[in-house]
Amino acid sequence: MKRDFISIFDLSRKEMYDLFELGQKLKESQKKGVAHKILRDKTLAMVFEKPSLRTRVTFETGMTQLGGHAIYLAPADIKLGTRETVPDAAKSLSRWVDLVMARVFAHKTVTDLAENATIPVINGLSDLEHPCQVMCDLLTIIEHKKSLKKTMVAYIGDGNNVCNSLIAASALLGFTLTIATPKGYEPHKDYLVKAQKTRLTHDPKEAVKDADVVYTDVWASMGQEQEAEKRKKVFSPFQLNAELLNHANKNHVIMHCLPAHRGEEITDDVIDGSHSIVFDQAENRLHIQKAIMVWLSQQS
Same fold, 8-130+285-299 and 133-281: yes
pLDDT digits over 259-269, tens only? 999 999 999 99
59 phi and psi angles, rounded to 5 deg = -70, -40
Q: Of 258, 5, 13, 22, whose CA–CA distance to 148 is shortest?
A: 13
Is the pLDDT at 84 greater than 70? The verdict is: yes
Backbone angles phi, psi at 50, to 5 degrees: -115, 140
* Strand pairing category for 99-103 and 69-73: unpaired
pLDDT tens digits, 15-47: 999 999 999 999 999 999 999 999 999 999 999
Region 96-124: what's the mean pLDDT? 98
Catalytic residues, by residue number, are 103, 130, 133, 217, 257, 285
Do 102 and 73 form a contact (C-beta atoms < 8 A)? Answer: no
Q: From the CB of residue 130, how many other CB atoms can be counted at a distance below 10 Å?
A: 27
pLDDT at 79: 84
- Say if residue 196's pLDDT is above 90: no
What pLDDT score does 277 carry?
98
Tell me: cis bond preceding 187? Omega within 30 of 0 counts: no
pLDDT above 80: residue 158? yes
Q: Is the pLDDT assigned to residue 274 strictly greater than 70?
A: yes
Give the chain's mean pLDDT. Answer: 96
Q: Mean pLDDT across the stretch 103-109?
A: 96
Q: What is the tens place of the pLDDT at every residue in 132-155?
A: 999 999 999 999 999 998 899 999
> Average of pLDDT values for 113-136?
98
| Strand runs labelled E in the chain | 43-48, 69-73, 99-103, 121-125, 152-156, 176-180, 198-201, 213-216, 253-256
Strand ranges inside 74-120, DSSP E = 99-103
**CATH code for residues 8-130+285-299:** 3.40.50.1370
**Is 280's pLDDT higher than 80?**
yes
pLDDT band at 239 (very low <50, low <70, confident <90, very high): very high
The SS3 call for residue 170 is helix
Residue 50 to residues 89, 115, 125, Cα–Cα distance (Å) = 17, 21, 9
Q: Is the pLDDT of residue 226 over 70?
A: yes
Phi, psi of 147 (to 5 degrees): -130, 135
Domain positions in the chain are 8-130+285-299, 133-281
Fold of 133-281: Rossmann fold (3.40.50)
Is residue 62 over pLDDT 90? yes
Predicted TM-score (pTM) of the model is: 0.96
Q: Does position 225 have pLDDT exceeding 80, yes or no?
A: no
How much is the pLDDT for 197?
86
**Mean predicted confidence (pLDDT) in 66-90:** 92
Instruction: Please say whether the beta carbons of 179 and 198 come within 8 A.
Output: yes
Percent of residues, the chain, with pLDDT higher than 90: 90
- 48 phi, psi to nearest 5 deg: -120, 120
Q: How far is CA 128 from CA 185, 221, 252, in A?
A: 14, 12, 28
Answer whether residue 222 shows pLDDT above 70: no
For 143, other C-beta atoms within 10 Å of its C-beta total 16
- Rounded Cα distance, 48 and 55, in Å: 10
**Which pLDDT score, from 0 to 100, does residue 180 have?**
98
Task: Determine the Cα–Cα distance for residues 150 and 37; give it in Å rounded to an integer.
Answer: 36
* pLDDT at residue number 77: 87
